[in-house]
Structures are given as C-alpha cells and as structure tokens.
Amino acid sequence: MDPLNPALRGVLVATLMLLVGVPPTFRLVVFPALERRGIDTTRANDTVLTVVGTALIGAAFTATAIAIGDVRPTDPGSFAAWASTTQPGMAWTGLVAVASMLGALTVTRYLRPRSVPRDHWLAAATVGALAMLVAFCATRYSVAIESSAVALIVKVGHMTGAGLWVGGLVVLAALPTLLPRSLDADDEPARVALAVVRRFSVVAVAGVTVAFATGVVIAAWHVPTPTALATTPYGLLLSAKVGLVLIAAAIGGFNRLIVHERIDRSVRETTDRTVLPGLLTIADPIVATDAVPTITRSVRVELAILLVATALSVVLTTAMTPSYELLGPTVAASGGVFGGVLLGFANLLKLGAVGIALTGSLALGYEVGKLGTAR
C-alpha cells in the first residue's frame, strides 16, 4: 500500500462527510432559522457555495491521487482500462463523474443563481453526496459477513450518520461567519443561535443514532470477544475511538441541555432554572451577547474530538487487521465453548445496537416535539 494512502483517505473521508452533512444542515437548519426572522442570507449563501465547491474539488482530487497510487499506471491507456473494467476503477469513475456534475451545477449556481434555485441545488448536492459515498464504500466494506450488500448498506449508513453529525457541527462552528455583520441588534444573534441549535438537534440525534447503531453492528462482526477489545490492536484502537465518540456525544448533550437552556432563560428573562423537574437545574443564565461565542466554542471542542475519532476510523479501516481475522485459528481450535462465547458477545452487541436505535428514536421524538412547541 502507498504510505500516503491513509492520509489521502482521511482527506477523502473528511470531504465526503462535509458533502453529506453540510447541504442538509443549511437546507433544514440555517436557512429556515434565518428566513423565519427575515435575516439576510447572503453570507450563508456564499459560505455554503464555497464549502461545497471546495469539498467537491478535494474529493475528486484525493480519490484520483489514491487511484493513481494504487494502480501505478504506466500510460493513460492502462488507467482508462482500469477505470472502465475493474470494480474499484468503476467506483472511482462514478465518484469523479458525480463530483464533476455537481461541480458544474455549483459553478452555474454561483454565476447565475436564478437558473439554479438554492433549494434545488442543495437537494441535488445531498443526493450526489450520497451517490459519491456509495461509490467510496463500494471499494472497501466489511468482508466479515457473507452478504456484501448488507455490509455495504451498513457501511454507507454508518458514514451517512457520521457525516450528518460532523458536517452539521462544521456549520455550527462557523455560525458567526453565516450571520450578517450588521446583526447586532439586542439579543437577535442569541435568538438565531437558539433556533439553529434546536433545529440542528433533530439532524444530530438522527445522525448520532445511525452512526452508533451501525458502528456497533460492524464492531459485532469484527471483534469476536470482550477480551479482543482489550488485547488485540484492532480492539484497542476501536475502544479508544468509542471512548472519543462517547465524550463528543456527552459534550453535544451538554450543549443541547445546559448551554441552550442557559441562553434560552437569559433571552426569555425567566428566573426558573429547572431543566428536568427534580433532576436537573441550571447555573446562571448566559447573557445574550455571549451566546454565539459560547455555543461555537463548545461545538468546536466536540468537532475536534470527532475529527480525531475519524482519523482513528481511517487507520482502523486501512492499516489494521480486524480481531476476528487474528483470532480465527484460536476460535477454530477452541471449539464449541469458545464458539458459544463468540456468538454470545456478537449477539449482545447487536442487542445493544437495537437499544441504541430505540433510545435514539425516543430522543428524536422529543426533539421534534420541542421544535413543534418552539415555533
């Protein structure tokens, strides 16, 4: 393998997560929150065009660099033959073709905005990003189970959930650059920040739930025993990654439950400090002028942790041997009893994935309900 491969793959994964998460966050979170208050969207428009355009160029460029590193073509003809006849070659062709079409649409939207309405462009960008993600995942998915279709769907689901979360956080982290410079009236930036966090929570809960549930399913395929989590290199790296994503999720929950409520109470000028009756009360409200800096600071910490977790994920996929491959001979030699443990642990993890999906659905219902009452 080309030594540059994991680094390039990391950039490709990051650009794909941006493409999957940024357009829906603007479509469902940022633009509605601004437009409902009659706030100018010029800066938000410019930002989303720049981010999507740059991510498309980055994705096409890194995918091509990885392909050239893997194939080492001697002439353009051999590269063309690889691109049109082999499975990884066709996946590369599909990814670059979609990136080029979306790139052309993005340039048209930039030059002649009236000919490509914003919401149509964002919808096309979302669908195109998912198509690029499928092409990317088709080059490497889990081979631990017999059905490659199931393995591919779970991997695409995992990265879609991760992309919605990480891509959305990137948008929130850039909140000050999305608001008009003239927006300094009283507590208006704080009200926008509250609306953005409330709307984003629906997207984030959906993304986190899918990422966690599918991640646990892949882990059930790759890590056969509890001890493998603590003794094999793959298991240790996976444990470190899970630790990081749990910390990030806890920060996200803190932002939503505590930071959001402290700003909300300041804006509404209420003295009630109860968040969950009998369970949770909040400290002093955050003054409206500090709202946007406080939220973006906290979101940036959450994002930084997730970027490290993403880097670990890329190392897991490209440079590590899944524990089940290392332990294969041991499993075979140890016979039925070990086999029973193996089955038991995998089933426990899959049960955990169902639990995550149920809890996530409840949290999603709560967020949608909150959004409805906040309108």
Under the binding rule (CB under 6 A), the answer on residue 60 touching ligand HEM is no
Under the binding rule (CB under 6 A), the answer on residue 324 touching ligand HEM is no
Q: Which lies closer to ligand HEM via its Cβ, residue 106 or residue 310?
A: 310
* DSSP H/E element including 60: helix 42-71
Select from 197, 210, 292, 309 the one that contacts ligand HEM (CB under 6 A): 309
Part in contact with ligand HEM (CB under 6 A); list of ranges 52-60, 91-99, 185-193, 209-217? 209-217
Q: Which lies closer to ligand HEM via its Cβ, residue 255 or residue 313?
A: 313
Q: Could you tell me which residues are beta bridge partners of residue 74? A: none
DSSP state at residue 86:
S
Work out how close the CB of 264 gets to ligand HEM at its nearest, in angstroms, rounded to a whole number: 27
**Closest residue to ligand HEM in the complex (CB):** 215
8 Å CB contact between 329 and 321: no
Under the binding rule (CB under 6 A), the answer on residue 219 touching ligand HEM is yes
Burial class (CB in 10 A: 0-12, 13-18, 19+), 293: middle
Q: Which lies closer to ligand HEM via its Cβ, residue 169 or residue 259?
A: 169
Three-class secondary structure of residue 112 per DSSP: coil
Phi, psi of 280 (to 5 degrees): -140, 120
Give the residue from 121, 132, 115 showing the smallest Cα distance to 56: 132
Tokens of 280: 């949770």
Q: Which lies closer to ligand HEM via its Cβ, residue 196 or residue 223?
A: 223
Under the binding rule (CB under 6 A), the answer on residue 9 touching ligand HEM is yes
Tokens of 275: 């968040």
Q: Which lies closer to ligand HEM via its Cβ, residue 273 or residue 350?
A: 350
Under the binding rule (CB under 6 A), the answer on residue 142 touching ligand HEM is yes
Q: Map residues 225-264 to x or -, x wherever contact with ligand HEM holds by CB under 6 A.
A: -------------x---x--x-------------------
Select from 26, 212, 324, 345 the one that contacts ligand HEM (CB under 6 A): 212
Select from 211, 267, 282, 363 the one that contacts ligand HEM (CB under 6 A): 211
Select from 66, 96, 218, 288 the one that contacts ligand HEM (CB under 6 A): 218
> Cα–Cα distance between 256 and 357 in angstroms, integer?
20
Q: Which lies closer to ligand HEM via its Cβ, residue 23 or residue 163?
A: 163
Q: How many helices (H) and strands (E) does the chain have?
A: 14, 2
Select from 155, 198, 260, 265 the one that contacts ligand HEM (CB under 6 A): 155
Tokens of 178: 């999305």
Phi, psi of 241 (to 5 degrees): -65, -45
> Cα–Cα distance between 23 and 47 in angstroms, integer?
11
Under the binding rule (CB under 6 A), the answer on residue 13 touching ligand HEM is yes
Query: What is the DSSP code string of 152-166?
Result: HHHHHHHHHHHHHHH
Select from 133, 138, 159, 172 the one that contacts ligand HEM (CB under 6 A): 159
> Cα–Cα distance between 316 and 322 in angstroms, integer?
8
Q: Which lies closer to ligand HEM via its Cβ, residue 258 or residue 315?
A: 315
8 Å CB contact between 22 and 48: yes
Work out how close the CB of 286 gets to ligand HEM at its nearest, in angstroms, rounded to a whole number: 27
Under the binding rule (CB under 6 A), the answer on residue 91 touching ligand HEM is no
**Residue count, binding to ligand HEM (CB under 6 A):** 26
DSSP state at residue 285:
P
Give the residue from 122, 132, 135 showing the smallest Cα distance to 99: 132
Select from 66, 132, 295, 314 the one that contacts ligand HEM (CB under 6 A): 314
Q: Which lies closer to ligand HEM via its Cβ, residue 106 or residue 142?
A: 142
CA-angle at 75, arms to 73 and 79, nearest 5°: 50
Under the binding rule (CB under 6 A), the answer on residue 158 touching ligand HEM is yes
Non-local CB neighbours of 315 within 8 Å, separated by 6+ positions: 6, 237
Binding residues (CB under 6 A) for ligand HEM: these are 9, 13, 141-142, 155, 158-159, 162, 166, 211-212, 215-216, 218-219, 222, 238, 242, 245, 306, 309-310, 313-314, 316-317
